[in-house]
Amino acid sequence: MLPTENIFYAFKIEGTFEYIKARSVPGQNKPYPPLVEIVKDQPIFEFHDVKGTLVGFWYPSYMKGINVPGYHFHFITEDKKAGGHLLECQTQNVRIGLDYTSNSYLALPEDEEFYKAELSKGNRAVLEKVEK
């Protein structure tokens, strides 16, 4: 239903959700383990008839490699005490806000650790596996 799949969209969905399934990984310390290892033990949360907010983005397919194409949402309960990365949801009574832009801004770290990091080896496949 998006007018075009060639620009960026931001969503804010507020209201009551019949069902939410979300995940959240615990905080990590250096040296950081690979993302695929971290998500193996991630806690899964399920909410029923809960009030809260979903915020998220939609990225075009040509952004693959910079970001995960498609939809990406996070949920937080109305009392702001629980939430996570959205895995599944069923809405009940919600308001949907949509914003769009043809602009994107990317800021990269300016430090030795980033300059020496190996960022191109297999990260795309791992990220897609983790996100799906």
* Cβ burial, residue 77 (10 Å; 0-12/13-18/19+): middle
Rounded to two decimals, the pTM is 0.81
In which element (H, E) is residue 98 found?
strand 83-101
Q: What mean pLDDT is predicted for residues 5-16?
A: 97
Q: What is the pLDDT of residue 131?
A: 65
What is the predicted pLDDT for the residue at 119?
Answer: 78
Q: How many CA atoms lie within 13 A of 91 on its CB side?
A: 10
34-49 confidence digits (pLDDT tens): 878 888 888 999 999 9
The ranges assigned to domains in the chain are: 8-131
Task: Name residue, tokens 């498609």.
Answer: 70
How would CATH label the architecture of 8-131? 2-Layer Sandwich (3.30)
- What is the maximal distance between C-alpha atoms in the chain? 49
- Could you report the per-residue pLDDT of 75-132, keeping only the tens digit for each? 999 999 999 999 999 999 999 999 999 998 999 999 999 999 887 766 666 666 666 6
**Contact between 24 and 77 (Cβ < 8 Å):** no
pLDDT band for position 23 (50/70/90)? Answer: very high
